[in-house]
Amino acid sequence: MIRGFRRADFWSGSVLAALGAWIVSEAQRWEYLGPDGPGAGFFPLWYGIAMVVLSAALVARSVLAKGVDESRGPLAWAEIRRAFGCWCSLVVSVALLKVVGFIASFALLSWFIVAVMFRQSQRLAWSIAFCAAVGFYLLFDVVLGVTLPTGVWHLAAWGPAWTS
């Protein structure tokens, strides 16, 4: 029985209900109604409650729904793994920004995408990585004067950034 869709609704609804409950609890720490008007806790309380109510409705619908929902097939876990892998490479690249700077980490990211995700040749991957990194550097740092992260070793820190 294809229940992928409903299960997803169930879990996302539960997560959102938990979020809503947490928002409500945080909102109660703040002033609800101050001397001059609604306080900081007013709005969060209400949209937190709305979130809990709506997500409970979603969860209920996913559990009580009759019949099978054919609109989505079974989740393709292999594909999701690919997307997730790509996301992880992005996270690593961003983490590296602080250490090696934009040029190096972006080159690595580009290489990963071309070589690993798209399975192109190593030569193509490295040449794209190189062109992309240099191209971005030239366009942003040199021409537009946008300072890019340079990392611990200050790679390419001598970008002019001529604008003030």
Selected from 21, 54, 155, 156, the binder of other proteins by CB under 8 A is 54
Q: Please, which residues bridge with residue 33 across strands?
A: 38
Least distance to other proteins, CB of residue 41, Å: 9
Long-range pairs, 124-133, Cβ under 8 A, ≥24 = 132/106, 132/107, 133/103, 133/104, 133/106, 133/107
Based on the shown chain and the rule CB under 8 A, indicate whether residue 42 belongs to the binding site for other proteins: yes
Instruction: Specify the residue for token string 């876990």.
Output: 77
- The residue (of 1 and 26) whose beta carbon lies closer to other proteins is 26
Nearer of residues 1 and 58 to other proteins, judged by Cβ: 58
Establish if 163 lies at the interface with other proteins (CB under 8 A): yes
The reply on whether position 18 binds other proteins by CB under 8 A is no
- 98 near other proteins, rule: CB under 8 A: yes
- Identity of the residue, 1 or 106, whose beta carbon is nearer to other proteins in the bound complex: 106
- Quick one: which of 103, 107, 109, 110 has its CA closest to 154? 103
Asked if 66 interacts with other proteins (CB under 8 A), we say no
Q: Is 70 in the site for other proteins (CB under 8 A)?
A: no
Residue 101 in contact with other proteins, rule: CB under 8 A: no
φ/ψ (deg, to 5) at 152: -65, -35
Q: Which of 34, 63, 68, 138 binds other proteins (CB under 8 A)?
A: 34
* Site membership for other proteins, residue 100 (CB under 8 A): no
What is the torsion angle, in degrees rounded to the nearest 10, for the CA atoms of residue 40, residue 46, residue 48 and residue 52? 170
Q: Cα separation of 7 and 12, whole Å?
A: 9
What gap in Å lies between CA 79 and CA 82, rounded to an integer? 5
Strand partners of residue 38 = 33
Chain positions 112 to 141 lying near other proteins, rule: CB under 8 A, are 113-114, 117-118, 120, 124, 128-129, 132, 136, 140
CA angle, 52 then 54 then 59, to 5°: 90
Q: Is 155 near other proteins (CB under 8 A)?
A: no
